[in-house]
Structure 1
Amino acid sequence: MGKIMFTEGHIEEWNLAYKNATPEVIVRKALELNESAVVTTNFRPYEAAILHAVSREESQIPVVWCDTGYNTPQTYRHAEKVINDLKLNVFLYVPKQTAAHRDVVMGIPSIDDPQHALFTEQVKLEPFRRAMEEHQPKIWFTNLRKGQTAFRDSIDIFSLSKDGVLKVSPFYHWSDEKLDLYLEENNLPNEFKYFDPTKALENRECGLHA
């Protein structure tokens, strides 16, 4: 498929046209726009929904998992189950320094600590940039939803990343209750014992999206 440049005009048009569309229809639309697509995940709560919706339309889509190295045992077990059940095509990216090494020299800095920015760069931003540089996607599926953070309230189903990649959030307008039903109907697991070492508060933006 030839190169396509996504514009704010496209974004406005698609968000209007697909506001009430099902996730399946939204995913299908995005995949028709360009073959170069990835879905990113950290296996936090409700991630099984986006992984199911996307992989059902394109079974071999690269699933980019940036593992900070600080996930809970429950999250790792949950990830293994989802990966195996959905037969996901996972590409794992981890920090260049182990968590055990970092624990000795830095630990997990608080938000107010001057080292927090370096910590976030090491465990989240650098592995993510490495993943995107290797895959060079034009379409980026993610499970951002309205009401999660102030930044996420400002976007929509379709948005543009700062690099011009089309970011697609098929469940953007969905509530937890609606997602609970989706998981139940599709026999998908969920796991709430999740830990993000770069976020002190649940409504703080993680740094990948803003």
Structure 2
Amino acid sequence: MYLLAKLLCLSLGLYRSYKAIKSRKKTLLTQWVSFWIVMVAYYVVEAVADLVVGWWLPLYSTFKLILVGYFLFTQPWGTEALYKQHIRPFLKYYKKDIENVKQNYTTYLVRMSKESIKLAMFLANLCLTVALYLKDLIYRKLVTFITWQRYRYNEKESSRHQDFRYPTFQTTPSKAIQRSPRSRVPRPKVESTDSS
């Protein structure tokens, strides 16, 4: 819904700006230039706000939809009022800084690129350090875990072997089978037949 409202707002602004240029009326041109200035300022603020508060602020997308609806339904006087009350005073206040950046943009760009390279090198070094630390930490934890598992397994195996006893066979017959010497059945004597 938000993207549709945004597209409608921009396309109507584009068409009405085209008509204002064709009519060559200064008041219409001023209104539509202020509309485009407000829209650019809105998109800059939206890009920053999406990163900062867009992911945690409740009803943020609804607020954006209401704001684009305001731009859409109050064209061009609503955006012209925003321009006169907020954006023009802001630009007047920072005019010297903007002109300074505009005149010295080459040195500014060189300085910013050097700072960006330093920041990128710092972040790359930080990521590498964290990755190496995590690798070492994971390796140590894994070795500790494997050693602990081996110890547990060996302890379990040794206790299992300690519990296991080979069956012992009694060398003497059980009491039920034992007979007293008196109750021995005498063996029959074999008579010897001597033929002498």
TM range (shorter): under 0.3
When normalised by structure 2's length, the TM-score is 0.23
**Which of the pair has more CA radius of gyration?**
2
Question: Greater share of strand residues, 1 or 2?
Answer: 1
Question: Greater share of helix residues, 1 or 2?
Answer: 2
